[in-house]
Chains A and B, each alone.
Chain A
Amino acid sequence: MIPLSWYLIFAAALFCIGLYGVLARKNAIAILMGVELMLNAVNINLVAFWRYLAPQRIDGQVFAIMVFAVAAAEVAVGLALVISVYRRRHTVAADEIDMMKW
């Protein structure tokens, strides 16, 4: 059986890729994709911990499902925002969307 640490290392790697994408990518859609990666890295952790540490309980799986739901909602809102911004400013570059500054 694959040891738990592998899963954790994989999840950390995935999280870091997602984080890199969020911080480094210009395209707002790519940022959203990075966020998805980070969320899924978390899901892997949740499922892995559930399986290895408390398989008789159901909490880990439920949590993972809730994260799916939240991620779906987040993507729906995020994409809607991106489309809305694109319609107004004709861009999806995060650098140029800086209306919230002072």
Chain B
Amino acid sequence: MEITTLFIWLIPVPPLLAFFTIVLFTNRNNRLSHRIAVGAAGLSWLFSMWVFWQALQKEHFGEEVFASSFDWLSMGADKLRIGVMIDPLSAIVLFFVAWTVLMIFIYSIGYHNFGQPKGDHDQAGLPPHGAKVKEHGHEHTVPSIEPMYARFFAFIGLFAFGMFTLVVSDNLLTLFVGWEIMGLCSYLLIGFWYGKESARDAAKKAFMTTRIGDVFMLLGIAYLYSAAGTLNFRAILHSQEMLDMLAALPSGYFGLSAAGLIGLLLFIGTVGKSAQFPLHVWLPDAMEGPTPVSAMIHAATMVSAGVYMVIRMFPLLSAGMDHGEPTVAMSVMAFVGALTALFAATIALAQNDIKRVLAYSTISQLGYMIAALGIGAYVAAAFHLVTHAFFKALLFLGSGSVIHGVEHGVLHTGDHDTDPQDMFNMGGLRKKMPLTFWTFLIGGFSLSGFPVLTAGFWSKDEILADAFANEHTVVFWTLAAAAFLTAFYTMRQITLTFLGEARSEAAEHAHETPPSMTRPLIVLAVFALAAGWVGVPDHFPVLGGKLPNWFHHFVGGTLLTEPHAVKFDRFPLITSVVVAGGGLFLGWLVYRKVPKGAADPLSKPLGPLYRLFANKYNIDEIYSFLFIRPAVWFSEQFTYLFLDRKIIDGLLHAVARFSVALGGFLRKYIDVIVINGSGDLVATLTQRFGQWFRGIQTGRVQQYMLAAMSLTFITLFYYLLVLQP
């Protein structure tokens, strides 16, 4: 085996080994546990970088991918093959996953307060409450180490294993395996602080909501296997005959082709995993988990996995597309994506929790990618996936750093009523936490698409340009509006958190976080700026052509025919600059002077609309009314009280009563009388006979003799006289 292929096989292995080692052996030793986990992530990172580097060396990498596989399960004549495959798309995904995972692992050390004393009343399942220490003669409270420190690293190790498996797999089945492992890990990690009821509920919600999507995805996989006879990506997606066959095969449902139906089913899986409307509800609640988890789930890995899967399956989704007319599956994606992008952005406007804003922002940005794919902008979607992973991981980790800093202030002042995640309790953190501020600013500007400098600008611009050039006007304007809102709420977040004056005592005593947290921020900030420069369009004014549009050629090579870059047009560029700049400026203008205790300045002018946004369009309530309460009612009233208690229990009780009655009858009339009676009768008769018969036992030897003699004579006479021999 080639060394590169071997390395691809090895990429997912170290985190899995780390998981088992920590769970089985080292879970009592915090230092060893995090060293093993970070070491494993580092090893995976090393393998990934090697593979990525090798991929860069290849001239026509899209044609000659790294692939290796062997027989896994043989079922009758069929054989399922398991294998790894790295093509340009998975290479870039591998690149950002390896980086973000490593950064998140390192960040977790600081976030979980490694090196701090044990908390005074900390217990497993609850976040640490801080410890009192005596220093310089007076007592004060400092953050305490997470009680389940080692377990956290075990879980994120397993999570990383799931993601790496998903990225390197060469078929849909192993991809699904990685997908489900991540589903499990997200459940475990969201519910990491299981002592909190909200965390438990959020974990269940995330698991069950994504499960809806996963069931449909599994159906899609099964259908694809029965229609195509294989699940291998190259065999399906890189063969025009196979795609034509699937596009021509009618599915028999809704007039869709097999390709269309499979594409839609797989897309529903993505809707669940990547939190698209209407299955987006789990993601904001998932903020109950520790912040590195939020970053992993919402930036680097899980939600990216959903988008990665649809980008991967794009040839299938677009199979049967003629003359640029999108297929049904693509139209659905464009609609869902654009709707989600705008809808989540409006909700993000009215959230006060720093992490929730980012959660909705993630939903919105994922909607961007889905919409981009829906209009056929394959490369742009992949590009935005990469840049988004970097700047969103940066923002999540930055928000974690902010929360950590403010929590420090909360512990210091002892004012436990201050919510350390509420942005209206912050302000003025610029000076207290300079590193966090600058990196967060970079991440935020990248998210808003600040022109030229940031990565987010290039990827977002490409999506808008694509939408404009292919005359998807509705999608274009929806996404432009979403971009404006994105810039606005991002600036709102930055202004409320870092600028102005501190609005609480806790914020005044906030503290910069340790280097293990800030250094990953710096690394990610570099990528949040630089990741965009690899994809500068060729015809961009001034810059175009100076830097080659490497990304387009590299990722475009994944497809059978490389998509040609869209013609440059000033209009989408100007739109994107105006919405980004305008949003940022307006956000600063509105929120720069929010006094302590004041309400959101937007709540008055927007009125009921603001409340609608703040209540997330009441979708949770609607779901509760439509699905949860009927389900609870049904299970309580029908399944439990009627079906279980009345029918099943009733049947069982009837059987029990009948058995008791039958048993009583049998005992009374059969057992006691017949069986016992005959048994007793035999005994009594034997006894009576014995009593009567023992009378002959006189003990007089002469009587015995007489009896013996008489018997002898009788026998003798009988023999001699009657038988007469």
Q: Which residues of A contact B (CB under 8 A)?
A: 19, 22-24, 31, 94-95, 97-102
B219 proximal to A (CB < 8 A): no
Closest residue of B by beta carbon distance from A95 = B700
**Beta-carbon contact of A23 and B698 below 8 Å:** no
Additional A-B contact list (12), CB under 8 Å, known A94-B700, A100-B697: A23-B705, A23-B709, A94-B702, A95-B702, A97-B701, A98-B700, A99-B699, A100-B699, A100-B701, A101-B699, A101-B700, A102-B699
| Residues in chain B near residue A99, CB distance under 8 A | 699
B706 proximal to A (CB < 8 A): yes
Name the one of B698, B705, B709 contacting A98, with C-beta atoms under 8 angstroms.
Answer: B698
For this complex, 27 residue pairs linking A to B, each with C-beta atoms less than 8 Å apart, are A19-B709, A22-B702, A22-B705, A23-B702, A23-B705, A23-B706, A23-B709, A24-B702, A31-B702, A94-B701, A94-B702, A95-B702, A97-B701, A98-B698, A98-B699, A98-B700, A99-B699, A100-B697, A100-B699, A100-B701, A101-B697, A101-B698, A101-B699, A101-B700, A102-B694, A102-B697, A102-B699
User: In the complex, A45→B697 CA distance in Å?
Assistant: 34
User: In the complex, A23→B709 CA distance in Å?
Assistant: 10
User: In the complex, A52→B593 CA distance in Å?
Assistant: 158
| Residues in chain B near residue A100, CB distance under 8 A | 697, 699, 701
User: In the complex, A19→B706 CA distance in Å?
Assistant: 9
In the assembled complex, how far is the CB of residue B661 from the closest CB belonging to chain A, in whole angstroms? 50
| Residues in chain B near residue A95, CB distance under 8 A | 700, 702
Question: In residues 676-725 of chain B, which contact A (Cβ within 8 Å)?
Answer: 694, 697-702, 705-706, 709
User: In the complex, A98→B706 CA distance in Å?
Assistant: 15
User: In the complex, A94→B705 CA distance in Å?
Assistant: 12
| Residues in chain B near residue A97, CB distance under 8 A | 701
In the assembled complex, how far is the CB of residue A7 from the closest CB belonging to chain B, in whole angstroms? 20
Closest residue of B by beta carbon distance from A24 = B702
| Residues in chain A near residue B698, CB distance under 8 A | 98, 101
| Residues in chain B near residue A22, CB distance under 8 A | 702, 705
User: In the complex, A24→B701 CA distance in Å?
Assistant: 11
Question: In residues 508-530 of chain B, which contact A (Cβ within 8 Å)?
Answer: none
| Residues in chain A near residue B697, CB distance under 8 A | 100-102
| Residues in chain A near residue B706, CB distance under 8 A | 23
In the assembled complex, how far is the CB of residue B549 from the closest CB belonging to chain A, in whole angstroms? 123
Interface range on chain B (Cβ under 8 Å from partner): 10 to 19
In the assembled complex, how far is the CB of residue B325 from the closest CB belonging to chain A, in whole angstroms? 117
User: In the complex, A27→B443 CA distance in Å?
Assistant: 134
| Residues in chain B near residue A102, CB distance under 8 A | 694, 697, 699
| Residues in chain A near residue B701, CB distance under 8 A | 94, 97, 100
| Residues in chain B near residue A98, CB distance under 8 A | 698-700
Closest residue of A by beta carbon distance from B698 = A101
**Sorted from nearest, which 9 A-B pairs have the closest CB atoms?**
A101-B699, A98-B699, A100-B699, A102-B694, A102-B697, A101-B698, A98-B700, A101-B697, A94-B702
User: In the complex, A23→B706 CA distance in Å?
Assistant: 7
Closest residue of B by beta carbon distance from A100 = B699
User: In the complex, A45→B547 CA distance in Å?
Assistant: 147
User: In the complex, A98→B699 CA distance in Å?
Assistant: 4
| Residues in chain B near residue A23, CB distance under 8 A | 702, 705-706, 709
In the assembled complex, how far is the CB of residue B691 from the closest CB belonging to chain A, in whole angstroms? 10
| Residues in chain A near residue B700, CB distance under 8 A | 94-95, 98, 101
User: In the complex, A1→B585 CA distance in Å?
Assistant: 167
Closest residue of A by beta carbon distance from B693 = A102
User: In the complex, A101→B697 CA distance in Å?
Assistant: 5
User: In the complex, A18→B554 CA distance in Å?
Assistant: 136
Closest residue of B by beta carbon distance from A99 = B699
In the assembled complex, how far is the CB of residue B717 from the closest CB belonging to chain A, in whole angstroms? 15
| Residues in chain A near residue B699, CB distance under 8 A | 98-102
User: In the complex, A31→B701 CA distance in Å?
Assistant: 10
Closest residue of A by beta carbon distance from B690 = A102
| Residues in chain B near residue A94, CB distance under 8 A | 700-702
Closest residue of A by beta carbon distance from B697 = A102
Closest residue of B by beta carbon distance from A101 = B699
In the assembled complex, how far is the CB of residue A67 from the closest CB belonging to chain B, in whole angstroms? 19
| Residues in chain B near residue A31, CB distance under 8 A | 702
Interface centre among B697, B702, B709 (most CB of A within 10 A): B702
Interface centre among A31, A99, A100 (most CB of B within 10 A): A100
User: In the complex, A102→B700 CA distance in Å?
Assistant: 11
User: In the complex, A99→B699 CA distance in Å?
Assistant: 6
In the assembled complex, how far is the CB of residue B240 from the closest CB belonging to chain A, in whole angstroms? 111
In the assembled complex, how far is the CB of residue A93 from the closest CB belonging to chain B, in whole angstroms? 10
User: In the complex, A102→B701 CA distance in Å?
Assistant: 13
In the assembled complex, how far is the CB of residue B4 from the closest CB belonging to chain A, in whole angstroms? 105
User: In the complex, A94→B698 CA distance in Å?
Assistant: 12
In the assembled complex, how far is the CB of residue A98 from the closest CB belonging to chain B, in whole angstroms? 3
User: In the complex, A22→B697 CA distance in Å?
Assistant: 19
In the assembled complex, how far is the CB of residue A95 from the closest CB belonging to chain B, in whole angstroms? 6
In the assembled complex, how far is the CB of residue A94 from the closest CB belonging to chain B, in whole angstroms? 6
| Residues in chain A near residue B694, CB distance under 8 A | 102
User: In the complex, A66→B169 CA distance in Å?
Assistant: 108
User: In the complex, A101→B705 CA distance in Å?
Assistant: 14
In the assembled complex, how far is the CB of residue A72 from the closest CB belonging to chain B, in whole angstroms? 21
| Residues in chain A near residue B702, CB distance under 8 A | 22-24, 31, 94-95
Closest residue of A by beta carbon distance from B706 = A23
In the assembled complex, how far is the CB of residue B712 from the closest CB belonging to chain A, in whole angstroms? 11
In the assembled complex, how far is the CB of residue B702 from the closest CB belonging to chain A, in whole angstroms? 6
| Residues in chain B near residue A19, CB distance under 8 A | 709
Interface centre among A19, A94, A98, A102 (most CB of B within 10 A): A102
In the assembled complex, how far is the CB of residue B537 from the closest CB belonging to chain A, in whole angstroms? 125
In the assembled complex, how far is the CB of residue B695 from the closest CB belonging to chain A, in whole angstroms? 8
User: In the complex, A58→B360 CA distance in Å?
Assistant: 131
